[in-house]
Structure 1
Amino acid sequence: MPSSRRTEALVTRRALLGSGAAGALGGGLALMALQAWAAQDADAETLLRHGGVVAVFRHALAPGTFDPPGFRLGDCSTQRNLNDEGRAQARRIGEWFQQRQLLPHKVLSSPWCRCIDSASLAFGAPQVWAALGSPLGYPETTGAAHLRELRKALVAASERSGQFEVWFTHMFVQSDLASDSTRSGEALIVRAHRNAGPQVLAKLSIAV
């Protein structure tokens, strides 16, 4: 990756807007970064409005790596959870959809609290779906069977023109499903056909 692209990737849009684009990176590169994010958002909005796609979100910011030893599903006090910035990210996701009058057909979430909380703050209580659970969590919540389930549901969603779904999951699930992933609070806009694997059509980075 060229050095300018590496620099762009390390600076978030929110940092640019908060400190002034020219001061953060220098006018030309900063403008390119903001234009790139705006183009991604526009592409994603067009795809969502047309339907037949799923916005696969990585949960909002939850500092740390993995869960504490002995964590339990259903007990948020034992898990790695959203911090204040993560909760703000999730609210910004909901605001972006509301401002554009984009209403998901379904909102599905991993059973992990950081995913449920991300979905709830953005859209209201989601439908919890074990297949979206972290592959590095309990073994019984992961594996090839769940990946097949996700792909089947993605194909079904892709066949519904005019409707889209929103899924909240983990980086590892994004990667296993679509061979791509995002930062916290961002989404892959994904489609799949019966005779082809999942295709990433755009990324949505509204929360950063």
Structure 2
Amino acid sequence: MIRALIIIAALAMALPAHATEAGWALLRNGGQVVLLNHANAPGSGEPASFDIEVCRTQRNLSEQGRQQARRIGALFAARAAPVQEVLASRYCRTKETAELAFGASLVETVDWLDPFEPDGEEADERSELLRETVADYTGSGILVLVTHGDFIQSVLGARSREGEAIVVNVNENGLHAAARIVFN
């Protein structure tokens, strides 16, 4: 009985590593689109004084988040085809994650990767924009979209951790999470 529990626990711990390796295998070949949840930013929601143009009024990366973003970039450089383009939401924590990981010269901000209310017309519009972006991507490198956990939850129906990457594609059912990469 104890041996069976140990085996089950070992298998459960190996699943993220296996999922991560499958993600790297896809990224080595290039031509992929990655949804990346921003790195560690303590708290939830935005302060009452929130202003999209002023970083000090937003929830921002912690020092751990900055280190995590650098580590993400180093791993992409070592294990994936070159990152060709990076789009990030306008929020400071996503821009900083993108810039620390991939370099400011690659980063372009877009409002459609910002958080939004999951119900209603905007959710459908954002999901469609994402689906079109993924379906239309023909680059030989990697397209990284740095966004928020709520955005990923709304468009994929799957939660993601801060700093987690999800390789996405489009199939007959719409958007599909092909693989996940977990950064510790």
- Do Structure 1 and Structure 2 share a fold, with TM-score over 0.5? yes
Indicate yes or no: 2:125 matched with 1:148: no
Indicate yes or no: 2:44 matched with 1:89: no
Runs of 4+ in 1 over 4 A off after TM superposition: 26-31
Partner Cα separation in structure 2 for residue 88 and residue 61 of structure 1: 9
**What residue is the counterpart of 1:201 in the other structure?**
178
Is the contact made by 2:29 and 2:80 (CA closer than 8 Å) also made in structure 1? no
Indicate yes or no: 2:165 matched with 1:184: no
Number of equivalent positions: 174
Which AA in structure 2 matches 1:53?
Q
Partner Cα separation in structure 1 for residue 39 and residue 9 of structure 2: 24
Distance 1:199 1:143, change over 3 A: closer
Partner Cα separation in structure 1 for residue 80 and residue 158 of structure 2: 27
Which AA in structure 2 matches 1:149?
L
**What residue is the counterpart of 2:79 in the other structure?**
100
5 Å-filtered alignment, 1:20-169, equals 31-100=10-79, 102-125=81-104, 126-135=107-116, 143-157=123-137, 160=138, 162-169=140-147
Query: Would you tell me which structure has more strand in proportion to its own residues?
Result: 2
In the superposition, the TM-score normalised over structure 2's length comes to 0.85
Partner Cα separation in structure 1 for residue 165 and residue 123 of structure 2: 22
For the aligned residues, what is the CA RMSD? 2.1
SS in 2 for 1:64: coil
Q: List per-residue Cα deviations over 1:4-32 (Å, max 9, x = no partner).
A: xxxxxxxxxxxxxxxxxxxxxx9756643
Partner Cα separation in structure 2 for residue 36 and residue 107 of structure 1: 28
Is the contact made by 1:131 and 1:147 (CA closer than 8 Å) also made in structure 2? no
Partner Cα separation in structure 2 for residue 33 and residue 84 of structure 1: 30
Q: List per-residue Cα deviations over 1:138-162 (Å, max 9, x = no partner).
A: xxxx5443332222111112xx274
SS in 2 for 1:183: coil
**What residue is the counterpart of 1:7 in the other structure?**
none
SS in 2 for 1:55: strand
Partner Cα separation in structure 1 for residue 127 and residue 26 of structure 2: 24
Report how far residue 115 of structure 1 moved: 0.3
Partner Cα separation in structure 2 for residue 200 and residue 127 of structure 1: 23
Report how far residue 132 of structure 1 moved: 0.3
Is the contact made by 1:49 and 1:162 (CA closer than 8 Å) also made in structure 2? no
Which AA in structure 2 matches 1:201?
A
Structure 2: stretches of 5+ with no match in the other structure: none
